[in-house]
Amino acid sequence: MGKLIHFVAQSADGFIHGPNGEFDWPVMGPELSAYSRRFTETAGMFLYGRVVYEMMAGFWPKAEEYSDDPHDHAFAPIWREFPKAVFSNTLQSADWNTKVVKGDLKTAVADLKASVDGDLVLFGGSALANALTREGLVDEYQISVHPVVLGGGQPTFDGSAGRFDLKLLDAKVYDGKVTLFRYAPA
């Protein structure tokens, strides 16, 4: 049975997007891009909350038309084909090999872990990530800290889970700019 891994990009001051929702700041150099592609090889399913899923579904299906970035061109076909789940009580259906998951988080995650070969990788977001954290369902956090101070916005952790300790598994600098911290709940 795989792990549930929260993979998130945050600013140096701890935000996943800026005060006006801006997400134009993550630095995806060749080393971090290669790591993220290797990382997805152990995944069995990508997980999203509704807001992040809608953002991803608005970009990745036609990423090659929107971007000249080599990372985007490499990841787009993976995203389109990969099994995905979006946790939402409002969506009725989703495209791009995506199932909509509703109901109790503990039951839903247990069912996904039992039915998916590989890790469940939650990309970004905060509402779902914080809900999963409150329930003790996240097995590993991979937090990439990018070289920008946003001065406000949506924090990675909203405090709703209270205080919890983490054990550092690894830390590595990619492309001389981004530090990726891997943590497990202590």
Can you tell me whether residue 46 is helix, strand or coil?
A: strand
pTM (two decimals)? 0.94
Provide the CATH number for the domain around residue 90: 3.40.430.10
The verdict on residue 157 lying in a domain is no
Mean pLDDT of 100-120: 96
The verdict on residue 107 lying in a domain is yes
* Domain count across the chain: 1
Q: What is the pLDDT of residue 39?
A: 86
The verdict on residue 166 lying in a domain is no
Mean of pLDDT over the chain: 95
The verdict on residue 66 lying in a domain is yes
The verdict on residue 167 lying in a domain is no
Q: What is the pLDDT of residue 50?
A: 94
- The domain in which residue 60 lies consists of 22-119+132-139
